Structure 1
Amino acid sequence: MARKIDYSALLFAAWFISFSIAVQHDSSVQRSFIIDYDNNTFLKDGQPFQYISGSIHYFRLLPDSWDDRLAKMRAAGLNAVQIYVPWNFHMPRPGQHRFTGSADLDLFLALAQKHDLLAIVRAGPYICAEWDFGGLPAWLLQRNASIVMRSSDPQFLAAVDEWMAVLLPIIARRLYSSGGNVIMVQLENEYGSTGQCDLAYIRHLYQLGRRYLGNQTVLFSTDNTLTCVAKERQFYATIDFGVDGTRSLKDTFAPLRALQPKGPLVNSEYYAGWLDHWSSPHVRVGAQLVADGLARMLAYGVNVNIYMFFGGTNFGYWNGANSPPFEPQPTSYDYDAPIAENGDTRYKYQLIRQVIKDATGRQPSPVPRNSSASSFGRVKLQRLASLLGNLDSLIVNRLDGKLPVTMESLGQFQGFALYGTQISEDFEAVAPSLTSSYSLRVEKVRDFVYAFASSNSKPSLGQFLGFISYAESAAVLNFTASDLSSIRNIWLLVENCGHVNSGPDIQGNVKGILGQVTLNGAPLYGWRSYSLDFDRLAAKLPYAKRLAASGEPQAAQASLYMGRLILDKNSLTDTYANLSTFCKGQLWINGFNLGRYWPCAGPQVTLYVPRAVLREGSNSVAVLELLQAPCLSDSSCKIDFLREPDVGFRSKSVADSADSLTYRGKSAVPSSADQLPTVDDERI
């Protein structure tokens, strides 16, 4: 069985430590964390304080690993952690609140306090974070696709108020002044980069913060476009920058000082790594460059948060996407961080630890040992059946209409939706030029389309017509068929590759088929739109003798493959699933959705498999392959479970020149990697 976590014991231990600290504290000095503007510093319990923080996203790893990552962050010399709170992760549907398992925010904050780490909470409602929709819930689009996000739109504010009434009291109980460890809270994030300046919205958030968190809590903003929020002088303004900004800190902070002449200097996101996109090289940031920049900031008195100190994983469908152009992030959020995706400390970690030790004069605690990972060898798979020949096990909702509807209208906020239409018998009269050559045009679609044709009006797949990638300029498929009756029905499987997480395209960010579909120029009407739940089907696979077979030939694409990984109780360690023999799809182990794979595009080849999803004995392995049919012969139908990851390390790596990293959504890499320093990814 997978390891069980005694959450009640962990929570009690963390509470007890918090209580002990509060009791032992000198009763003559009230616990406080405030800003001393005159001396340009924070004051913690009346004493000057410089925080050295690292970003970690509790929702990008399983609770089984929280304690290990926090212990390693403290052992690096950090005295604080910075977290985001994703609204959509905690409130997946209206009125549904999740605060257990990976969503147990209160437990995570308690564990951080157990490790003597203060907490800086970036509470949203928008966070970016390369997370689906920047943390906003896609069900807002189901209510009204025209709702103006991050604004004083009454519908948006009403939803924000409802959410903050749940979230902020949880944070309030963990405030430093109340015996907890939360010293600062951010509402919104990098708002100046939207191009909006809805001051009514910003003031509303500030009032919410004060209502629930009191007048003494430090409320701050993070922004490099200081033309809106910073000018309000309500939130304490901070900025973010990478290595390049550390070369002349006076110049870097000059625009902020022009608006905020006094107070402590803060870099809320010091980039120790960078994000990846599918079809682009894995980005690497030089360890020595990061360490040197950190040393300069600490000597200058800057309060620093290292982003990311631990990146983690976009399990399931939680990755976001930058736009324009549309560029979804891969499953791994390794970020070339000091702590790797599986929790291993890197050479970069070692250098940072030494810098902090030299700057503070404090001996950090010993570094916990790295977790072991194992190679479990090869697991053979077999093709069970075409996926969409088994839609009875997938369909959650259906809407019929003249035109397709958005995924959000179906209540499908992640994953896949299916659209089907029947070609009328008089179609040849409508399109007399129809021959054996066909042109299927989808006017507007988000994001990735897999097209099929069948003679059956019941949802099933016969001939695979091809795919339309979000990277293509024209959403057109040209194909041939022997006669029209063989393509009496058109089926379009649409994959939501991640809602846009930053930039102007966050508005109206709906998914699915958004425009007209034509065949040889003639419009197709009468669409059946289906929402699908692949997770539910994957969970049933271990108990199914065989998926139902369709009465007509099925396309090999969009098929499910099944295998079993047998482990003894001494083999329950992390591992990596190598999907290099597949092309694009999704992987589940024991019903847990490990995320998207796409080695055909790269840079990521392996998927991280945490030990917590594994169990003694038989482990079910389910693969949904969408583009290829690699397993029609048993010899090639396999997954190798490896000891080492490949998230792009073996592709052309890119080290950081100081000028190579810009604001998210406009990321760039150096034009010539040959002129850059060698990157050392050695682990300790």
Structure 2
Amino acid sequence: MENFIVREDGLYLNDEPFKLLSGAIHYFRIPREQWYRSLYNLKALGFNTVETYTVWNLHEPKEGVFDFSDRLDLKAFIELAQSLGLYVIVRPSPYICAEWEFGGLPAWLLTKENIRLRANDPVFLQAVERYYQELFQILTPLQITHGGPIIMMQIENEYGSYSEDKTYLRQIKALMEKYGADVTLFTADGAWQATLRAGSLLEDKILATGNFGSHAKENFTALKAYQEKLGVKQPLICMEFWDGWFSRWGEPVVKRDQAELLAALREVLTLGAGVNLYMFHGGTNFGFMNGCSARREHDLPQITSYDYGAPLNEAGEPTPTYYAIKELIGEMYPELEQKEPIVEKTIKVSDIKLTGQVDLFTCLDQVSEKYDSQYPQSMEALGSGYGYVLYRTQILRDKLAKERFRVIDARDRLGFYLDGEHVTTQYQEEIGEDIEVKLPNETGRLDILVENMGRVNYGSKLSANTQRKGLGRGVMADLHFILGWQQYVLNFDKLSALDFTGKCIKGRPSFYRYELELVEPGNCYLDLSGFGKGVALVNGHNLGRFWQKGPQLALFVPAEFLKQGKNEIVIFETEGIYQTKLNLVERPIYKHIKEDAQ
């Protein structure tokens, strides 16, 4: 059986010095069928390790209900890595950041009254323990101490950028050990004193690693200085070497200069440190799993693509950066075996015709679950927490002139409709402003379609107080709250029952169906540049969000989501902007790109 040891002077595998060359691949962001190619291409680079988070909100989508199937089959991913000769670093923290919805925390946590997240809170820790009971049944037998490939596991992620509750950190460590963790444990934080002091457990001799994308000498000097301050000596590891960056709706796509990236990576390696490229293959925020950057007033949701400018692009294809890093590794470590990467072709299909359309109000009962209540309920209380909820009530005319309405504390974006007619759309900065509308009749039907654009994944707003989604406290007519609500939680798993022969009134949120025949499936991108805002599904697979605002104008379609023969594409679009024909294209489409350096 192999052994992996962290000593003061470095990492050792089977008592021989071990140079950590790792790349991040998130199994949950990539179709299972494409794992092999990504892992093989990592090994072909000359690297020896793959790193991944585990993702709580997908593994426990409903409280007490667990899922480790298909692309969530963590055991299969780790065993596949081992079969290719790769070691594995697992980061099973309750919180992962990763530009992922709520940093990986499940939305159902928000139904717990007064819960404090990522803290010494018994309610939170009880939920973590139940998750770990399931998770470590998979992880424990796969540790190197049990004959598996896992060499290290993380206790918490960038905790020094959130809090300094060492009791909490020790409780997470104790839970990991209770359920079988016996490999090297570590923390990962920004490499400066404030974050290391708050987020590491150096005083307990737990390995502290740094996250950064440049200025390696400065960062490692700060890390060593803090080690020396506590009388600890540890090897240097950059657990997240940011080789690119993520992008947000309404901003240019960030693209890192290749020469600057290679110089920064060379600096890390020259210092003799271990490194984990974050990301090696970024993948996709399928469904409603994109995160959101917190700001004081207007939060900034991230786009569906998690391409990240990584060595493998979103579709898993080697980029020029891949080949440049391969050349650098070959130069610095000529003894390492390198191979040619696997490259797959993409496909394109033009003029895919619209075969049916129906507006949401016509088919509402077919695609939703209905809940009645006196006061409007949050998305989490309605058992969903993601996507869209349509809130409906009846209102009375009090004036012959215009009535005044205000929506209070809704998150994140809403469409306001009276008797099926669009009145206004409000986003973060407009919600709470007056909505004036004249009621033509004594009574009217008010519909408010609310979209959760993604919960924050980092920072001070990562709390139960700020991240509940839905209609919030409700809607005021003049000076009073309206009561008596019907709530329709949209369920995109029910689209097979959708009748596309119904009405489709212009300007309403609507479903559009397109059909195409394929001789041979392949990776491609769905061009949505002629649509407004919404989500797209291919054969029932939710590709994620699109928005004419950009920068992303096409969604990645993995070959595995397509099939030989007949295929169905369904677009849910909320702005009344659509096209009668679709195209599958070979490359992503972006509005704006900007050069950036770490």
Report the TM range for the smaller structure's normalisation.
Answer: over 0.9
Residues 40 and 342 in structure 2, CA contact (< 8 A), matched pair in contact too = no
| TM-score, length-scaled by structure 1 | 0.83
Equivalents in 1 of 2:328, 2:223: separation in Å? 21
Name the counterpart of 2:57.
88
2:204 to 217, 233, 256: 233
Equivalents in 1 of 2:471, 2:436: separation in Å? 20
Name the counterpart of 1:578.
527
2:172 to 200, 205, 209: 205
Name the counterpart of 1:488.
444
Equivalents in 1 of 2:560, 2:405: separation in Å? 45
Equivalents in 2 of 1:572, 1:250: separation in Å? 51
1:393 to 351, 362, 366: 366
Letter in 2 for 1:639: L
Q: Does 1:443 align with 2:408?
A: yes
Residues 452 and 465 in structure 1, CA contact (< 8 A), matched pair in contact too = yes
Equivalents in 2 of 1:535, 1:596: separation in Å? 16
Name the counterpart of 1:595.
544
Query: What does the per-residue CA deviation read over 1:231-281, in whole Å, with 9 as the maximum and x for residues that have no partner?
Result: 542531111111234567435653455346411101110010001111011
RMSD of aligned alpha carbons: 2.0
Name the counterpart of 1:266.
237
Letter in 2 for 1:494: V
1:334 to 307, 320, 329: 307
Query: What does the per-residue CA deviation read over 1:598-645, in whole Å, with 9 as the maximum and x for residues that have no partner?
Result: 1x2111011111111111111111111101233xxxxx4221111111
Equivalents in 1 of 2:215, 2:473: separation in Å? 44
Distance 1:250-1:498 versus aligned 2 partners, 3 A rule: same
1:322 deviation in Å? 1.7
Equivalents in 2 of 1:473, 1:453: separation in Å? 18
Name the counterpart of 2:597.
657
Query: What does the per-residue CA deviation read over 1:25-84, in whole Å, with 9 as the maximum and x for residues that have no partner?
Result: xxxxx52111112xx201111111120111110000101100000011111111101100
Name the counterpart of 1:674.
none
Query: What does the per-residue CA deviation read over 1:121-175, in whole Å, with 9 as the maximum and x for residues that have no partner?
Result: 0001111111111111111112x14211111211111111111111123111111
Query: What does the per-residue CA deviation read over 1:95-122, in whole Å, with 9 as the maximum and x for residues that have no partner?
Result: 2111110000000001111111110000
Residues 311 and 321 in structure 2, CA contact (< 8 A), matched pair in contact too = yes
1:521 deviation in Å? 4.3
Name the counterpart of 2:349.
376
Name the counterpart of 1:27.
none
Q: Does 1:311 align with 2:282?
A: yes
Equivalents in 2 of 1:513, 1:116: separation in Å? 50
Distance 1:145-1:246 versus aligned 2 partners, 3 A rule: farther
Letter in 2 for 1:592: H
Q: Does 1:134 align with 2:103?
A: yes
Name the counterpart of 2:42.
73
1:219 to 180, 185, 197: 185
Residues 587 and 621 in structure 1, CA contact (< 8 A), matched pair in contact too = yes
The percent of aligned pairs where both chains have the same amino acid is 34
Give runs of aligned pairs for residues 398-437 of structure 1, distance below 5 A.
398-401=371-374, 403-424=375-396, 427-428=397-398, 432=399, 435=401, 437=402
Equivalents in 1 of 2:454, 2:417: separation in Å? 23
Q: Does 1:466 align with 2:428?
A: no
Equivalents in 1 of 2:588, 2:199: separation in Å? 41
1:498 to 434, 439, 454: 454
Equivalents in 2 of 1:127, 1:248: separation in Å? 22
Query: What does the per-residue CA deviation read over 1:575-601, in whole Å, with 9 as the maximum and x for residues that have no partner?
Result: 111011101011111111111111x21
Letter in 2 for 1:654: K
Equivalents in 1 of 2:289, 2:476: separation in Å? 32
Distance 1:257-1:612 versus aligned 2 partners, 3 A rule: farther
1:572 deviation in Å? 1.2
Residues 322 and 328 in structure 1, CA contact (< 8 A), matched pair in contact too = yes
Letter in 1 for 2:440: D
Equivalents in 2 of 1:281, 1:341: separation in Å? 17
Residues 247 and 293 in structure 1, CA contact (< 8 A), matched pair in contact too = no
Equivalents in 2 of 1:175, 1:52: separation in Å? 19
Name the counterpart of 1:515.
473
Equivalents in 2 of 1:505, 1:517: separation in Å? 24
1:523 deviation in Å? 3.1
Letter in 1 for 2:381: S
Name the counterpart of 2:250.
279
Distance 1:450-1:561 versus aligned 2 partners, 3 A rule: same
Residues 467 and 477 in structure 1, CA contact (< 8 A), matched pair in contact too = no
Q: Which runs of 5+ in 1 are unaligned?
A: 1-29, 455-461, 631-635, 659-684
Equivalents in 2 of 1:296, 1:214: separation in Å? 33
Letter in 2 for 1:218: T
Query: What does the per-residue CA deviation read over 1:365-393, in whole Å, with 9 as the maximum and x for residues that have no partner?
Result: 32233210111112121552111221211
Q: Does 1:621 align with 2:569?
A: yes
Equivalents in 2 of 1:199, 1:246: separation in Å? 28
| TM-score, length-scaled by structure 2 | 0.94
Secondary structure of 1:157's counterpart equals helix
Q: How many residues align structurally? A: 589
Name the counterpart of 1:179.
147
Greater strand proportion: 2
Query: What does the per-residue CA deviation read over 1:383-406, in whole Å, with 9 as the maximum and x for residues that have no partner?
Result: 5211122121122240311x2111
1:46 to 15, 22, 36: 15
Q: Does 1:645 align with 2:588?
A: yes
Letter in 2 for 1:641: L
